[in-house]
Homo-oligomer: A and B are copies of this chain.
């Protein structure tokens, strides 16, 4: 049904790209066949996830990186993932204006994704939209997550490389960041590095990473020192013993995105990480894991759609609600009975 669209897509028409993304993002009719048709072409683009606290300069860094890639003749896709917080939604207008500057470049494609339903759904939607950009032949995809929760970090992790942007002000709360960030960051950036505290933050991150042999750091200024836990030390020793090919210690870089300082070095670090992923076999492993997750997402979506758009199932459930309300039935017993009668529906025999 999307033959004309696919022909335009193959011809590299940006309008076809925009339409394909809309169909996929909103799960319009036939989106699955469209994604299926594009699937064999996916795998060329390098995907970089960019995350960090509000105000760290993620958008500025995204724009700088995009400009650098364009200078190298590469095409760029930017996916802004915005879990539309009703309480913080207004803060981003300045960033959006900066984005509009590069949006005029025909080699740049920008798309914002907002939360629809759960954030789990958002991370699936991000992967799907990135697949469309990838299939279109885009060289570099930058996935910027605006939110600050664990689930937004999960979105960033749909990328090949995850960049965590911090600012000197982040230092105070770095203790609480520790676990989550250590797990996901492939590259750290201390942005606004001309401000006081940039060096200290960099040192703290490096201590957390076990890159520095110092024990407990204390500057006597009310900051809690960072202790090298035994876990970290063990990891450090283990990684130091392994060959360079199987080891990646996240570099901690400094940038000032407003004047472009440090962006070339950052871009190099991202390339180096990609090289590490390729040579270590990690790239294949990560992409295979992503494909496995894709199938799981599609299966879960499909079971939900088959069950909850079925009128007979809805009517059956509605009939049982009075017993549930009265406490004569439990949600678990009804769920079991519902599944027991839904074999044809779930396996697709009736659709």
Contact = CB atoms under 8 A, between A and B. Distances in A.
Contacts of A335: 295, 298-299, 302
Given A39-B327, A332-B32, A342-B346, A304 B300 contact: yes
B181 A86 contact: yes
Given A36-B330, A118-B120, A332-B36, A299 B84 contact: no
Interface of A: 32-33, 35-36, 39-43, 52-54, 83-91, 115, 117-120, 147-151, 153, 170, 172-173, 175-177, 179-181, 284, 287-288, 291-292, 294-300, 302-304, 307-308, 317-318, 320-321, 324-325, 327-328, 330-336, 338-343, 346-349
B339 A303 contact: yes
The 9 closest A-B pairs by CB, nearest first: A40-B327, A86-B180, A118-B120, A36-B330, A90-B176, A53-B87, A298-B335, A90-B173, A89-B176
A348 B340 contact: yes
Nearest to A114: B150
Nearest to A335: B298
A297 B147 CA distance: 25
Contacts of A346: 303, 339, 342-343, 346-347
Q: Is the interface of A mostly helix, strand, loop or mixed?
A: helix
Contacts of A327: 39-43
Given A32-B332, A334-B295, A88 B339 contact: no
A88 B53 contact: yes
A299 B90 contact: no
Contacts of A284: 325
Given A36-B333, A330-B36, A173 B291 contact: no
A179 B85 CA distance: 11
Contact of A321 (B90, B288, B298): B288
Given A298-B331, A300-B304, A335-B298, A324 B291 contact: yes
A328 B291 CA distance: 13
Contacts of A115: 149-151
A332 B291 contact: no
7 contacts: A35-B332, A90-B176, A118-B120, A119-B120, A288-B325, A291-B324, A295-B317
A339 B173 contact: no
A292 B307 CA distance: 13
Contacts of A296: 308
A87 B294 CA distance: 28
Contacts of A120: 117-120
A325 B147 CA distance: 31
Contacts of A340: 347-349
A85 B53 CA distance: 10
B85 A150 contact: yes
A340 B351 CA distance: 12
A336 to B, nearest CB: 6
Nearest to A313: B299
A219 to B, nearest CB: 18
A150 B86 contact: yes
